[in-house]
Structure formats: structure tokens, C-alpha cells
Structure 1
Amino acid sequence: MLSLTTPRPARRKRELLAGLTAAVLAAGSWAGEADTAAGGTGLRMSGFGSLGLSHVDAPAGWGYRRELTQGGSDASWRPDVDTRLGVQVNYSLGSRFELVAQVIAKKRGTYASDGDALEWAYAAYRPNADWTLRAGRVNLDAFLMADYRNVGYGFMAARPPVELYAMLPTSLDGADLARGWSHGDAHWRAKLMVGTAQIGDFHTAEPGRVRDVVGLMLSREEDGLLLRGSASRTRIELAMGGLQPAVDALGQLSALPIPVVADQARQLRARLGVADIWATFLELGLRHEMGNWQWSAELVRMSAAPLIKQSSAYATVGYRLGDWTPYIAHGRTRDAMPVTPVPAWAAALTPVLGPAAAAQSQMLGVVITDAVNRSRVHQSGWSLGARWDLHPQAALKLQWDRIRVDAGGPGLWTGADGSAAKANVATAVVDFIF
């Protein structure tokens, strides 16, 4: 990753304290409330958390992270990859109206604002049992684990598969409208979503956003088998920050009457995502529980050329043996956009710009090409693990990940170069709910 800003530990500390303080205040207000009858007014609180420790064996300088909004670190022992604490407060105003807030304290990127600790904050209206309208900051229900990806107790593995979920937004600032109905023994659900969301950093030190999101989701559940699909259309907007001078210089080079330089400069500028780029997300997912067997799989295809054109998928299978559930998982992601070749501009530019300016332009091309290639995601991984349900509200998970990063595909890592690499991640995590 090309880092262009300096860390702000004070902001990270404020964000963490804000999340914990909100959790404590929520708990204090809940303690004085009594449960109310159905259809009445009442305040309810629930919470979840994870205490994790990971050992990362990766090339020197490479920083592992669970999601792109998480700050990276090249330390070998990592307590911050999966550790988090969340509190959710539901305030019912009769049977039709409800206010919901969810606060999560976890490791975030250096650019995170204090408000990012507030994962959900919405008002819900249910005119009847079939329809629900929500407005505010809601979960982006375009993916299988959208409702519970931060609630480790709710899924089998130590973390959602990074090959897919590391790149996906967690929440949507906007609104959604859902309808549920039954047909025979099957329960169907459809949802329309609109709004904007934050994504992590691909090749800058500032977060990107997806705007003008319009999405549809349809699911069917029967006898423990959930099938779902979604389609979304959005506009990707990347913050250039300190890259803006380089963007301007590429624009000037693309206007030169030297075709080989102008074409490559124009392509590099487009790969940086400087213009509004429209993206399409298509998702298919399934989850099945059959006796002691549990398995899930999901495929997501994202098309946003010339910035990115990506396919990501995973499958997880587990078998329950009493309180233990051993499992195996495989995930992979592939970017169909090719590795950008390093430009050779010096000879062509020297007669026009002079030796010094030609050398500077050549260096610019090399640096930007490196940043673009390091933002590509081309990796796969196998996971072996076991979950022990040690308590009705707590589970211990032990997991080992073997990760292979192809050349020109380290976009999920911080501090990585463009070479091929292999890594091992061993994790122990206790997930709980309360």
C-alpha cells in the first residue's frame, strides 16, 4: 500500500474510548429499565465481543488485516486483528416503531473518525408483520454475513473469510425496505437498499466511499437451507489526498503528442480511480445446516473497470461432535485487471522535456505503477480450525490459515511489495454474547 499520511494515535485512542464509553452508558441506562409487555415501550440491550490473539508469519514488513478499514501492523503477535466489543440498544415505541443503535470498539485505520464506532443507528417502522422500513445507518444486506460479521459467536470460523469480506463495506448510510412472506414451508424475503457506504484504503491512506448505492436482495429459507442473491449498482469515489499532484502530472503527460507516453499516462490515471467509476456487485450465497453438518458458500463478482474487475468466493464446511465443531474453509479472490507494466518514458521524453524533467516523469510512472499493482488483490487461502462451545454464550475457536499471495496481488496487506508470497496465521479467539 502507498501510505501518504502519518498515523494519528490520538484519534485512534479517542475512537476506542468513544466506543467503550458509549457501551458503558448504554449498559447503565438499560440497568434501570424493566422489560415491557409486547407492543409497549421498552429499552433492551444486548452485546457481543471477541478476545483474540494471532501469530502472523509473513514476509518482513507485510501487515495482516481482517478488513481494509483496519489499520495494518507487521508485528508477529497481534491481539488486535479480531478483538472487539459491541453493544446494541433497541428502544421500542409500541409494536410499529423501533430505534436501534450498535456501537463497536475495534481496531480501525488511522483515518477513522470518532463516529465510525457507531456501526448502526437507525429508525425502523413496521406497518405489519411483512414489511419493514429502516432509515439511518443500517447493515448493508448485500452479503451473506451482513447481519453478524462482527459477532464472532454467530459464525463457525475465527473470522469471516478475508478473501471476500475484507473488501466489503459494513454499514450503509441510507434506507432499506424489506418484505417477508411464506410459501408452503419456505420463507422468502426481499429488500431494496439505497445510500452510501465507506470502504477501506486500496492504494492511498484515506478511505474510499461508494455513493448512490442501489441494491436488491432476495432470499429463500427452508429446512435449514438458506439461498440468497443480491445485485447492487454504485459509484466508487476514492480520496486522492496526497496523490493529487501525481494525478495532475499524469494528466499533463497524457496531453503530450507522444502516443506511447500519453496512452500509458492516461491508463495509469484511470487505474488510480480519479474519475467517478460505476461498479456492479453480484452476489450468490447459501448456508445449510443438516444434522451435524454445517456449511456455507458465497460468490461475489465486482466489475468497476478500469479500476477493478474482481471475483471472490469461499466455502466453509464443519461437523459438530458434541461441543466441538472442526471445520475447513477455502477462500480466493482474483482480479481480472492485468498487472500494469512499468513504463519506459525517459528516452521518449528527453528530447521534449529535457533530461531532468524526463527523469522525474519516469520516476513518477514507476512509483504510480507500483502503487496500482500493489492495490490488486490476487490471493487464496486454506483454513483449518475447531470451535468449542464452552458455554451457552461463549465459544473458543482455534484456527490456522495458510495464505498464498500471487505476484501483483497483495492488496489486502499493508507494507507489501508486488512479489509473490506465502503466509501463515495462527489464531485463538474467545467469542461471547451477553
Structure 2
Amino acid sequence: MKQPKLAITTLAVLSALASSAHAQDGMPITVSGFGTGALTMTNSDQAEFNRVNQAGGVGKDARPGVDSNFGVQVTAKWSDTVSFTAQGLVRKSPTNDQFGAELAWAFAKIKLNDDFSLRLGRVGLPVYMISDVRNVGYANTMLRPPNEVYRQVNVDNADGGDVVYQHSFGDTTVTAQAAIGRAKVRSADSNVEFKPVISTQLVVENGPFTYRLGRAQANFGVYDNSSLTGLVSTLNKVGLASVANELKLTYVKGTFTSAGIAMDYNNIIGQAEYAKRKTETRLVPDTSSWYIMAGYRYGKFVPFIVHGDVKQDSIRDFAALPTTGPLAALSAGANGAIKSGLQSTTGIGLRWDFYKSAAFKVQMDRIKTRDGDGYFLNAKPGFAGSTVNVYAAAIDFVF
């Protein structure tokens, strides 16, 4: 079955199950959804712009895949303390240049008391400030979260569970969340397994301000990647075991620590995040990344500006490797494998809430790559260090 048909079938089944359950046993059912219909293009055919976990991107020809998605969420309330939630999501596939369907959430929620709740099943991981709504365009001012930060950890959910604490102290609401589970992220050339992955966050809301601290840690491994496996094997064969040992593929420990703040004060809107990624393998480099967004509300219109950047904290080459002779190609491969995409983005955009549950957005980003191709796909020779403009228009909606 082709991916688009599978995607439509999956969402249809969620809706059908909701209707069936309501009809058979009277269990209260809530069906909601969200989506984005967008067209995205760039001013260059030398490389493709994409978002995290997408196998294909876009060039000069406008395409809907990069920024478009559709989701349906069904919640069944068993009792005052127990409920069940499933969320299906259709978006661009990480394994091929098509749309695919996935079961993003599927959990049972148990309310332990007024402050604590427990969720068991497939739950979203609180990795970023907008983790739960990163795919819900309508919930965000920007058309998309900045790649500079939101590509650093590519896992959205885990099979396991979490505990959430929420309590209000006067005008301040405190939410603490801890999640643990196992996850697998598939791509066109490899699989990454996280077992376990642990993610925690603390969110404090007071008036127009929201403050967040988060940390995720995991043991992970990269599998089924023939090029990386071959590189490590060859380094060992030619006596460069010390270099190979720095390119661990399995049983790798990694952490991601982040802090964020959001503000909606009078007509002023602001949001910022700063994050650091650290791992035990040079194949997933240590990075520091950040962005800041500011906007101003004029009635139903919100013009905004956003800037993001990322830098690599770990070394970008093995200085001891030979650059000439029979091992030059192997050295180039090893040095290329440990380089993270470096780029900065400056974007401007406009959001128009033309309907009570829909918003129209336009956004233009100017992306400057440095010392490589940044986060672009399928770059042609000579692209490194280029500057690319990305244009997008979208309608976000919820129901």
C-alpha cells in the first residue's frame, strides 16, 4: 500500500473507532484535530531545504511537503480518573520523499490526585519548549520552529510513560514532568534506537511569562548505516583504532539541556530558547544552539522576526590524520562525518488570524551556511558556505 493511502486510512480508523466506542458503550469521546496546508520554496536548486526527520526537501519549485501536516486526536474518558488518548499524524516521511502516517501518541492517563497524573503507553517527550505542540502550527506564532535548535534531538515520543505534577501557587502555576521509555527513529539510511531515553522539564507560568528548564538523556545507537559502519571498520583495519574509538556507533550516552522563556504582554510577543547537546561520539557532535523571536499584535495581525544560530563545540576535524597519500580519502571521510551542520537563520513573517480557528502565515528566512552545507539535503558541489532564501505560505487550523 502506498504511503499516502496508508496515512488516510490510519486517520480514518481513529475517527471510526471513536464513533464506534461512543455508540456501543456510551463512553464519552472527544475528537479534535489540527493541520497545516503550506507551500514552501527557495531561491536555489543547489540544495534542498527540509525540516527534521524528512528524507526530501524543496528547491526552487514550490512544494507542499515540507511544512504541511494533518493530525487527529481521539480521547475516551473511562471515568473521572482514567482516560485513553490516541493521536495520528500525517507528515513528510523520514524514509522516502512521500507523506506517511504515524501513531504519535497512544496512552492511558491515570489521575492520581489533584496534582499528579500518570500516563502509560506512547507519550510525547518534553525535549523542547513547544514539544507537545511543535506540529500544531496554529498554536505557534512562527510558521515553523527554527531548525538551528529543533534539529538537535530528532525523537518526538517514546514507548513508556511519564509523571506530571501541576499545582498553582497564587498567580503562579508550576508544572513538572518526567518521562522514560524507548524510541526508534528511522531514516532513509539508518535507524537510531534510544533505550532508555529520560526527559524532564520544569515549567513556571506567571502572568504573561512562561519559563522552562529541561534536560533529556539517553543511551542510543546508530544501526543499519553501511557508510558509517564501513568507515569505522576501515579505520580499524588500517591501524587508526584511536580515531575509530571516537566514532562510537552503539552504547552511546548523550544529554540535551535547554532553557526557554515566552512572553505575551499587552501586544508584545516574545520567545527564546538556548540548548546544549553533548554525546560520547564524534559522529553526533556537541553543539550549542539558540533562537529568539519577537512580534507585535495589531488586532488580528502579528508581524514577527526570528533569528537562530548553532555552533559546534566539539572538534570539526582530526588534525593527526594524513591529508595526502593513500589514506587521504579515508581522512576526508572521517573528518566529514564529525562535522555538524552550521548555519544561522534570520526570518521575518506575518500571522493573520482570519478565522476563530484558522490562521494564515507567510514567512521568509535567509539562511547562511558556514564551513559546510548547513542542514540542507542533497547539496551539489560548491554549495558549502552559500546563503539561501526560503519562502513559505501556510494556513494553520484546528478543530
TM-score (norm 2): 0.90
What secondary structure is seen at the aligned counterpart in 1 of 2:73? strand
1:227 to partner: Cα distance: 0.7
Hey, what's the Cα distance between the residues in 2 that align with 1:210 and 1:409?
Answer: 27
Match of 1:323 among 292, 300, 315: 300
The number of aligned residues is 389
Number of the residue aligned with 2:255: 280
- Contact 2:21–2:27 (8 Å) recurs in 1: no
Number of the residue aligned with 1:383: 347
Hey, what's the Cα distance between the residues in 1 that align with 2:143 and 2:265?
Answer: 21
1:240 to partner: Cα distance: 4.4
What secondary structure is seen at the aligned counterpart in 1 of 2:213? strand
1:174 to partner: Cα distance: 1.6
Number of the residue aligned with 1:365: 331
1:200 to partner: Cα distance: 6.7
Number of the residue aligned with 1:7: none
1:341 to partner: Cα distance: 5.1
Q: Does 1:195 align with 2:171?
A: no
Hey, what's the Cα distance between the residues in 1 that align with 2:300 and 2:9?
Answer: 35
After superposition, the Cα gap between the structure-2 partners of 1:289 and 1:74, relative to the gap in structure 1 and judged at 3 Å, is: closer
Q: Which amino acid aligns with 1:213?
A: V
Q: Which amino acid aligns with 2:315?
A: P
Question: Percentage identity across aligned positions?
Answer: 27
1:242-391, aligned counterparts within 5 Å? 242-243=226-227, 244-254=229-239, 262=240, 266-267=242-243, 269-270=244-245, 272-307=247-282, 308-340=285-317, 343-344=321-322, 347=325, 359=326, 361-373=327-339, 376-391=340-355
Hey, what's the Cα distance between the residues in 2 that align with 1:200 and 1:294?
Answer: 36
Hey, what's the Cα distance between the residues in 2 that align with 1:246 and 1:65?
Answer: 26
Q: Does 1:44 align with 2:7?
A: no
1:133-172, aligned counterparts within 5 Å? 133-168=118-153, 169-172=155-158
- Contact 1:91–1:98 (8 Å) recurs in 2: yes
What secondary structure is seen at the aligned counterpart in 1 of 2:338? helix
Structure 1, unpaired ranges of 5+: 1-9, 255-261, 348-358
1:247-299 Cα deviation digits (max 9, x unpaired): 22211223xxxxxxx3xx632x3454324221111111111111111111111
Hey, what's the Cα distance between the residues in 2 that align with 1:220 and 1:148?
Answer: 17
What secondary structure is seen at the aligned counterpart in 2 of 1:41? coil
1:184 to partner: Cα distance: 2.0
1:189-246 Cα deviation digits (max 9, x unpaired): 1111111234576xx8213233222232111111121111012221231124313233
Match of 2:357 among 393, 407, 413: 393
Computed over aligned residues only, the root mean square deviation of the Cα atoms, in angstroms, reads 2.5
- Contact 2:50–2:58 (8 Å) recurs in 1: no
What secondary structure is seen at the aligned counterpart in 1 of 2:342? strand
Q: Which amino acid aligns with 1:332?
A: D
1:368-405 Cα deviation digits (max 9, x unpaired): 433433xx121110110000001101100000000011
1:294-318 Cα deviation digits (max 9, x unpaired): 1111111111144211111111111
- Contact 1:19–1:118 (8 Å) recurs in 2: no
- Contact 1:167–1:199 (8 Å) recurs in 2: no
- Contact 2:56–2:377 (8 Å) recurs in 1: yes
Hey, what's the Cα distance between the residues in 2 that align with 1:282 and 1:387?
Answer: 30
Hey, what's the Cα distance between the residues in 1 that align with 2:220 and 2:386?
Answer: 29
What secondary structure is seen at the aligned counterpart in 2 of 1:71? coil
What secondary structure is seen at the aligned counterpart in 1 of 2:370? strand
Number of the residue aligned with 1:110: 95
Hey, what's the Cα distance between the residues in 2 that align with 1:306 and 1:26?
Answer: 40
Hey, what's the Cα distance between the residues in 2 that align with 1:156 and 1:118?
Answer: 26
Q: Does 1:415 align with 2:372?
A: no
- Contact 2:58–2:66 (8 Å) recurs in 1: no
Greater share of residues in helix: 1
After superposition, the Cα gap between the structure-2 partners of 1:295 and 1:311, relative to the gap in structure 1 and judged at 3 Å, is: same
Hey, what's the Cα distance between the residues in 2 that align with 1:345 and 1:289?
Answer: 53
- Contact 1:59–1:421 (8 Å) recurs in 2: no
After superposition, the Cα gap between the structure-2 partners of 1:74 and 1:115, relative to the gap in structure 1 and judged at 3 Å, is: closer
- Contact 2:260–2:272 (8 Å) recurs in 1: yes
Hey, what's the Cα distance between the residues in 2 that align with 1:252 and 1:66?
Answer: 37
1:175-214, aligned counterparts within 5 Å? 175-199=161-185, 205-214=189-198
